[in-house]
Chain A
Amino acid sequence: MIAPPKPDLVTVNIDGREIAVPKGTNVIEAARLVGVDVPHYCYHPKLTVVGNCRMCLIEMGLPAVDPATKAPIADPATGKQKINWIPRPQIGCATYASPGLHIRTQTPQVKDCREGVMEFLLINHPLDCPICDQAGECKLQEQSTGYGRGYSRFIEQKNVKPKRTLLGSRVMLDDERCILCSRCIRFSKEIAKDDVLGFIDRGSYSTLTCYPGKKLENNYSLNTVDICPVGALTSTDFRFKMRVWFLKQTNSIDTETSVGANTVVWSREGQIYRITPRRNDEVNDTWMPDSGRELYKTVRAPDRLTAIKVNGVDSGLDIAVHAAAEIFKASAGALAVVGSGRSSVEEQFLTKKLAAALQAPAQLVSRVGKGDDILVSADRNPNVRGALVTGLIASLPEPKLTDLASQIDAGRIKAVVAINEDLAAAGLTATQLAKVSIVHLGTHASATSAAAKVVLPTLTVFEKSGTFVNQQFRIQKFFQAVPAAAGATDDLVVLAKLVAAAGGPSLASDLASLWKIIAAEVSALGTMTFANLPETGLLLDATPWAALPFAEGATLHHKPAQPAAAATA
């Protein structure tokens, strides 16, 4: 790991407390470091500063110096350097740390400013919290409670604006709730690079809208819903489904590509309602693609595998494992293992153990698509690097299992263990599938599960915990959000049993114990345990694999070491 360059620190004084912060930190962020809340709406740490909400007004002072000699002027009362306080309040978001900067956030003037802005924001707001999806996570609610007056002096007619405008298929706009902070406009322009939002009309009648003929339809549109501080932008998928305060939050990882965007899975009573991004300044900032938010729908999909089957008949785990053991024995020496870049590091470790016990070659299937240069990378497997790190594979996988296919045709392979992969999708024909005995671990029905002698339903990423290694070689944790679907068994349990059935060692199938074994055997992970991995992940030393031609191009916070190989699929 390379240490970041030491930032230029300056000392600022916030409400009487001195703190050293990097030069150029704004007052909102600096105050956060000393535990002082500077309320704000339009400011977002990952977007440009526009200073339009005026909620973050603070008092600012600078040390007095003699204009001629630049010598500090002392305050006779305290003996310290005098502070020249600016009479006008300043906005915290656009006031940057400079040596000796003094900030006051708890004065009557600041209180009055906040009360004033809160009152202004609410006079034309519909105050429809009881039917608003944002209730419970609404900055307007929180800050009016914290900084407002608590009563209204407004007796005039409120402005009327469009309700229920569909900006795109996933985002609904209620203009009356909008406080015109312009976060969504800036996000679309600066991050999604899809400049489709803007204001029309002026003054208090200003209205957020899409440009004529445009739609907010890009793959990042739902981030505007996340950053909307009020209930103006809501997700068509989530709105009216569940109150946010009922939902349990579980940290997870977006599995659709090797970016590994950090996410939060929101669930209640075993059902997932939405997925939102989790801030990780080294990976995805505060964003994630819309496509990754839909993944929870796979948990309760109709084609979910829910029954262990042996030769097409419902069965039990131990019987199925026994049947697999019979296949292993019958086909000894003619076995192949197909692992997955979608499995976790732990599962890949056990897959490697299984391949070793079976003395069978192991391979992965690559999935390569077009990257969008933001948070969708070319490699659509979340964890190919995990397989490299654990030693399951030594070179990058191919999209099609052509070698395996020819071995089957030649009769050299008689049984295949397919873990989380559909062999048909990986290029095997129905005839080839019919020629081999297949032991299949998977979550959803496929040609492979239909052809398999033994089917062992396993878990989606939302039903288990583990780790992935993303394109930066950053190992990141994900956690179980909802209980396992009925009939499905934890991948680790199944794999551990199969390893034992194949004559391998008896291995633990719980994460803590398994990590002890992993740490002992995988040098790159030598010092780690699952519990002490930081929430934002840990960068591994990537040098052993630096020469491999990875498919990824540049994305947010990741530049490939070498030019990306041409996409092959």
Chain B
Amino acid sequence: MPAPAQRRIIFQHIDEPGYTNDLACYVKHGGYEILKKSVARPPAEIMDEVKKSGLRGRGGAGFPCGFKWSLVDRKSGKPIYLVVNADESEPGTFKDRYIIHQDPHQLIEGIMITCFANNVKQAYIYIRGEFPHGARILEQAIAEARAAHFCGPNVLGTAYGCEIYVHRGAGAYICGEETGLIESLEGKRPYPRIKPPYFPAVLGLYQCPTIVNNVETLCHVKYIADVGGDAYAKIGTPNNTGTRLLCVSGHVQKPGYYEYEVGKITLGELLYEVCGGPLPGRKFKAVIPGGSSAKILKFGESFTLKNKDGSMRTLTVEDIPMDFDTLAACGTMGGSGGVIVMDDSTDMVAALANINAFYAHESCGQCTPCREGSLWMKKISTRMVHDTARAEDGALLKSVADQIAGRTICAFGEACSWPTQSFIAKFGDEFKAYPEAKKAVKPAGALDLV
């Protein structure tokens, strides 16, 4: 059966010849019409549509967007802020940048609809420092939109007004964690806050109720405001509605970004048909389905899952539909949609050393297990690759990871320990045999550890 066709909602105009990121082009393609429609509606109606749509956050956790909005404290009398999480830092993920670079007005329209629905008067786009070009594009786009009264005071001649500001990060992965992001936006070190009590919906930016949404999520909101929640809920699969941007990188013939209805395409279809399969002469070995912090899947393993009616089904890795729930049931996650593929040429120890180096570098250092554990894991795996490996190092790595996950302030603890836990669980033999295997091949350019 051939793979289903892409359904491009968010990426409708991405890479379209002649489509530019200025306001005129966006308006020519029907832009801001949905905002015009929306500001004439009662805000509660839009919130209701989003709730009905079943939209789940596209940043990584898959938290239901409408429910997130409903948690916001609207009785405090404090202003409500919208913070747009454009700190797209998860390795393997490259979707938001295309929206920002090629279709920024789509995001701005989504922001404005969200702000209007939630009575937000100030929105901040927190964009990662490594996207200087994207920040300039967004600022230009906001200026254009403001001049045309799509944002700023008196939006489209109504009494409603909302300002959008772009804030550039300084290059830290942890700023993608929503409370770390808020701290950074307030001008502090991005130390994630303890929850309870600092849930953004109640005590967020400047201790005011705050909604933090991903760039892609807000673009979906725009679409939902157009077609309605019920119509949107029919896209994708139940509880996994809409479309999803998938970023495929690694050892495939055609890496790239694709948009599919959630759950309508399997991992196998994505990799073999859409991405053209493995490189010539190679075989797939493993795949990380949702950004580098998601647990790795090993080709050849299978999962026995319970159906709704109580019967059981068995899935191979290739059979897994790319939705939130099935991936979670298979012990990993849809995450940020970054699919990282590794073929049989991959040295799993070296691959883990690479991931561990990233997380050790990005740990903010606030709480003990992640701060010390992430660097320790990096030191072990780097030593295994570049210096003496021991047969017991795999078990030690797993034990260190087990001491981190679930014991930290923020989800970084899981993000940095899940790769190690899953690599050891699925490729433990490779780690055990590594000292012997290394004797055979000395890696080129290996650095001596001091």
Contact = CB atoms under 8 A, between A and B. Distances in A.
A and B co-occur in one complex: yes
Interface of A: 49-55, 57, 88-89, 91, 94, 112-113, 116-117, 119-121, 123-124, 153-154, 156-157, 159, 179-180, 198-199, 201-206
Contact of A91 (B194, B380, B402, B403): B194
A199 B365 contact: yes
Nearest to B196: A94
A156 B380 contact: yes
B354 interface: no
A204 B194 contact: no
Q: Which 8 A-B pairs have the closest CB atoms?
A: A116-B403, A120-B372, A206-B365, A156-B379, A204-B375, A203-B363, A51-B194, A52-B367
Nearest to B198: A94
Contacts of B196: 94
B449 interface: yes
Nearest to A159: B375
A203 B375 contact: yes
B298 interface: no
B408 interface: yes
Given A116-B403, A205-B365, A153 B189 contact: no
B365 A180 contact: yes
7 contacts: A51-B367, A57-B407, A91-B194, A120-B368, A157-B450, A203-B374, A204-B372
Given A120-B372, A156-B380, A202 B367 contact: no
A89 B172 contact: no
B194 A50 contact: yes
Give the residue among A57, A154, A199, A202 with the most B Cβ atoms within 10 A.
A202
Contacts of A124: 372, 375
Given A91-B194, A94-B194, A204-B360, A113 B407 contact: yes
Interface string B350-391: 000000000011111111110111111001100100000000
B403 A120 contact: yes
Between B361, B399, B402, B407, the greatest number of chain A beta carbons within 10 A of the residue's beta carbon is seen for B407
Given A120-B376, A203-B364, A88 B406 contact: yes
B407 A202 contact: no
B449 A52 contact: no
B409 interface: yes
Interface string B257-271: 000000000000000
Given A123-B376, A156-B383, A204 B363 contact: yes
Contacts of B197: 94
B396 interface: yes
Contacts of A88: 406-407
A123 B368 contact: no
Given A153-B396, A203-B363, A204-B363, A55 B407 contact: no
Contact of A204 (B365, B403, B409, B449): B365
B183 to A, nearest CB: 12
A231 B51 CA distance: 54
B379 A180 contact: no
B367 A54 contact: yes
Contacts of B379: 156-157
A156 B380 CA distance: 7
A433 B406 CA distance: 76
B265 to A, nearest CB: 33
A336 to B, nearest CB: 61
Contacts of A91: 194
Task: Report which residue of A50, A51, A54, A153 has the largest number of chain B beta carbons within 10 angstroms of its beta carbon.
Answer: A54
A91 B365 CA distance: 17
A113 B408 CA distance: 11
Interface of B: 172, 189, 191, 194, 196-197, 360-369, 371-376, 379-380, 383, 396, 399, 402-404, 406-409, 449-450
A486 to B, nearest CB: 52
B363 A202 contact: yes
Nearest to B174: A202
B366 A52 contact: yes
A154 to B, nearest CB: 7
A52 B191 CA distance: 10
Given A49-B194, A120-B369, A199 B449 contact: no
Interface centre among B361, B366, B406 (most CB of A within 10 A): B366
B378 to A, nearest CB: 9
Contact of B172 (A113, A120, A121, A202): A202
B40 to A, nearest CB: 38
B376 to A, nearest CB: 6
Contacts of B450: 157
B369 A204 contact: no
A180 B409 contact: no
The residue among A88, A119, A124 with the most chain B CB atoms within 10 A of its own CB is: A119
Nearest to B371: A204
Contacts of B365: 180, 199, 201-206
A89 B409 CA distance: 11
Nearest to A202: B365
Contacts of B404: 116
B368 A54 contact: yes
Nearest to A57: B407
Contact of B371 (A55, A153, A203): A203
B369 A180 contact: no
B165 to A, nearest CB: 25
B412 to A, nearest CB: 10
A90 B288 CA distance: 30
Contact of A51 (B189, B369, B402, B409): B409
B179 to A, nearest CB: 12
A206 B174 CA distance: 14
Contacts of A201: 365
Contact of B189 (A112, A159, A199): A199
Contacts of B399: 153
B449 A179 contact: no
Q: Which of A50, A116, A154, A157 gathers the greatest number of chain B CB atoms within 10 Å?
A: A116
B316 to A, nearest CB: 30
Contacts of B172: 202
Most chain A CB atoms below 10 A, which of B376, B396, B450: B376
Contacts of A157: 379, 449-450
A54 B197 CA distance: 16
Given A49-B194, A55-B368, A120-B369, 10 more contacts: A52-B191, A54-B408, A116-B404, A117-B368, A120-B368, A124-B375, A156-B379, A203-B363, A203-B364, A205-B375
B387 to A, nearest CB: 10
A159 B369 CA distance: 16
Given A94-B194, A156-B383, A52 B368 contact: yes
A205 B371 CA distance: 9
Given A157-B379, A203-B361, A203-B375, A53 B409 contact: no
Contacts of A156: 376, 379-380, 383
A205 B409 CA distance: 18
A162 to B, nearest CB: 16
A72 to B, nearest CB: 23
A119 B172 CA distance: 27
